Amino acid sequence: MATAYLLPIKTAAALFPLLALVLLLPTAVLLYRRHGVMSPGRTLSLYGFLYYLLTAYCMTIVPLPKQTGDMCERFAPVAHPQWMPGNTFSDIWKEAHHQVGLNALVLQNPAVAGTLFNLLLLVPLGVFLRYHFGRSLRATAVIGFVVSMSFELTQWTGVWGLYSCPYRLFDVDDLIVNTSGAVVGWLLAGPVARLLPALEALDGRALAARPVPFGRRLTALTVDLAGCVVTSVFATVVMIERRGTASAWLPVAICVVWFVLLPLATGATPGKRLVLLRLVGENGGPLVPWRLILRALVLAASVMPFLSGFFLATLILLNEPWRYDHLTTVHGSGAQNAETILYALSSIELQAVLAGLALTAACAWRTLRHPHRLAPHDRVSGIHNATLPHSRSVRAGAQAADRSEPVAVARAADDGASAGDLDRPLVGTGPVGPTGSAKVERSAADSR
């Protein structure tokens, strides 16, 4: 029976790298907004959770049957859902051939093995929900039921219409057993969590070492570059549709707006705002236009090779009749396409591409080697990044303020303080809420 689970596990292992790559940017944005850092421990835990979910879903749908004309006839016994609870016991008795004995009823009974597998399937879900997400037992039971229901509906609908009829049985017993497995996982997560380090502690250590992580700035830059490219392409298409032509300076104008005018007006680019970063001038002063322009020019020189490569790849994919129009006739393997592109470039163009890539690699290397992870465009312009409070710190500050308020009221009453004294800010009583924690964090970032 173990061999039946080998193919789903292999399928999940093959799909996970692609899923991890697709979800890398959204995952980074989510972690930086919630926790301010993408610590290795939390990232490993989250990607472990994603890999587990992918494997669990593969277990419920793989192997996929071959689509044939008589498929619905072959799977007729599983066409209708099983709504009667306790049907599993009937299956166990039937698989035991109505014999009473340890081997017949338990050890060598495939129905028992299937039920045990359904129980174990969502045990890791309960562990993750308690350790990583901090969910309660009731919430874990509800989430376990929803996940199990999604399994059963996927099977009952023939993978949501991919097949004309179900090829696996919708069984209410599976819902009960799966949900019980999630609850068991939550109960087991208590001892497991005591053996593992707290994720909040790992986040705190990472933030203490790097208050403005390099990955956080890289995520913001990736979002900004993608936004500029998408906006430029969209604006170009709209202008061509309306006027029949588009200005070659349009992408430049969009980049100026994105990296100069928006930071000057709001204090950050859209990408930095998304991951809760802001730009501060030299010595914590205001942003100056000429420094923003200088910063944008140095940044453009650093990332231009990637933008140029993206533009060239886009032209090839769109089969546009540009200078490299003969490249669009190549439909071989990726290696053949790459070889064709290299031969199409002249020696000067190839040297320029290699020099640009070397420049980008050198900028990344110098950034990582700098004690404060400052990039060349940061050092040249004098403009640096500072953090805004992430959602967990804001929530922690609010909770600390709620806890400290009764203590402050009681202390004021004991000292005979008047009602007006209670309105004055307390000094030395701990966090003062989201606004206060934000000021402290920004002041610390500015001092760096």
Q: Where are the domains of the chain?
A: 2-64+122-205, 211-387, 391-447
In this predicted structure, the answer to whether residue 376 has a pLDDT above a threshold of 70 is yes
Reference 11, options 47, 55, 66, 51; nearest CA is 55
Tell me the average pLDDT across 344-352: 62
Q: How confident is the model at residue 353 (pLDDT cuts 50, 70, 90)?
A: low
User: In whole angstroms, what is the distance from residue 222 CA to residue 216 CA?
Assistant: 10
Strands (E), 99-188: none
Average pLDDT, the chain: 77
Phi-psi region of 447 (alpha: psi -120 to 50; beta: other; left: phi over 0): alpha
- The highest-confidence range among 156-170, 215-229, 338-352, 407-421, by mean pLDDT, is 215-229
Query: For residue 397, how many other CB atoms are within 10 A of its CB?
Result: 22
| pTM for the model | 0.70
- The highest-confidence range among 25-39, 153-167, 262-276, by mean pLDDT, is 262-276
User: In whole angstroms, what is the distance from residue 300 CA to residue 292 CA?
Assistant: 12
Which residue has tokens 């995952």?
27
Query: For residue 196, how many other CB atoms are within 10 A of its CB?
Result: 12
Length of the chain (residues): 448
Collapse the DSSP code of 384 into the 3-class scheme (helix H, G, I; strand E, B; otherwise coil) and give the result: strand
